[in-house]
Amino acid sequence: MTSALRREYLAAMGLESWVVRQPSGAGAPPIMAATASVAQALRPATGFEVAADAVAKPGALHREAGFDWAQLRERVAACTRCGLSATRTQTVFGVGNLQAQWLIVGEAPGADEDRAGEPFVGRAGQLLNAMLRAIGLPREQVYIANTLKCRPPQNRDPQPNETAECFPFLERQIELLKPKIMLVVGRIAAHNLLRTEVSLSRLRQQVHLFGASRIPLVVTYHPAYLLRTPSDKRKAWEDLKFAREVSARG
Ligand code: URA
C-alpha cells in the first residue's frame, strides 16, 4: 500500500497525523502458548505478551459441530432458541471471504444490521472498514461475524442465556473458517470468547489463544465506542498494528 493511500485510510479513522511504522523484523520468536511466568519472561524479548489465561483446553463437541456453511446459515435463520427471535427483523449470520485469514468478531447486530442482514454496515461498520483498510485489509478480504446473530432490543447488552444459545453458531463458523487470526472488537465479545471478565484495557496488546486449535486472538476497542471516544483511536491503531504483526508471524 502506498503511504498516500495509508494516510487517506488513517484520515478516515480520524488519525491524520500518524506516522506509520513498519512491523518489526522477522527475527522475533514465534507466538506460543505459555504459562504466566513464561509470558512474563517473553515480554521484553518479543514485544508480545502471550496471555496465559486464555490458553484454551480442548472443548467438548458443541451443538453445531459437523454442519457445513450452508446448513449452518439455515440453522441460524431458523433459530428460535431465545427471545431475540421474536424481536429481530432477520438474523445476521456473518459476511466475507470464506478463505479469509482474518476473522473479525463483534458483539451483536444493531438496527442497521438487523435491517440489512449483514454485520457492521452502520456507522460503526464504516469505521471498522476504515480501521481494516488502514492495515491493508479491505473488508472483502476478511470474514466478519458477531457473538449474537440477532439484535438485542434497544441495543442492550446480550443476556447470558442469549449468548449461551448463540455461541455454538460462532464456534462452528470459526471451525469452518480456520482463521489465522481473530480480531475481537469490544469488551462484550472479548469476554464471551475468552471467558473472562478482565477489563478490555488489560486484554488488549496480548496474544490470546482461542480454542483447541489455539488461534491467535487480539482484542481491541469496539468501533462504536471509538465513535464516542475518538481519543482512544490511537490505542486502537496500536492494536491493529499489533494484530498485523501477530498475523505476519503466523
Ligand atoms: N456492532 C456490533 O458489534 N456488530 C455489528 O454487526 C454492528 C454493530
Q: How far is ligand 1, taken at its centre, from the CA of residue 222, in Å?
A: 9
Q: Which atom belonging to ligand 1 lies closest to the Cα atom of 223?
A: 1
Pick 11 or 132 by higher pLDDT. 132
Q: Is the pLDDT of residue 45 over 70?
A: no
Joined grid coordinates for residue 105 = 468478531
| CA 135/CA 51 separation, integer angstroms | 23
User: What is the C-alpha to C-alpha distance for residues 86 and 90, in angstroms, rounded to an integer?
Assistant: 10
pLDDT at 4: 65
The mean per-residue pLDDT over the stretch 205-222 comes to 97
Q: pLDDT tens digits for 68-90?
A: 999 999 999 999 999 999 999 99
Give CA–CA dist 114/203, Å, rounded. 29
Distance 143 CA to ligand 1 centre (A): 13
Q: What digits encode the pLDDT tens for the residues 151-196? A: 999 999 999 999 999 999 999 999 999 999 999 999 999 999 999 9
Residue nearest to atom 7 of ligand 1 (CA): 120
Instruction: Kindly tell me if the per-residue pLDDT of 218 is higher than 90.
Output: yes
pLDDT at 42 over 60: no
Q: 89 — phi, psi (to 5°)?
A: -80, -45
Q: Dihedral angle at the C-alpha atoms of 214, 215, 219, 225, nearest 10 degrees?
A: -130
Element (H, E) at 243: helix 233-249
Say what the pLDDT of residue 12 is: 67
Instruction: Give 34's pLDDT tier (boundaries 50, 70, 90).
Output: very low
Ligand 1 pocket (Cβ < 6 Å) reads 106-110, 113, 119-120, 124, 146, 224
**Per-residue burial over 114-141, b = 16 or more CB atoms within 10 Å of its CB, e = otherwise:** bebbbbbbbebbebbbbbbbbbebebee
Distance 124 CA to ligand 1 centre (A): 7
pLDDT at 133 over 80: yes
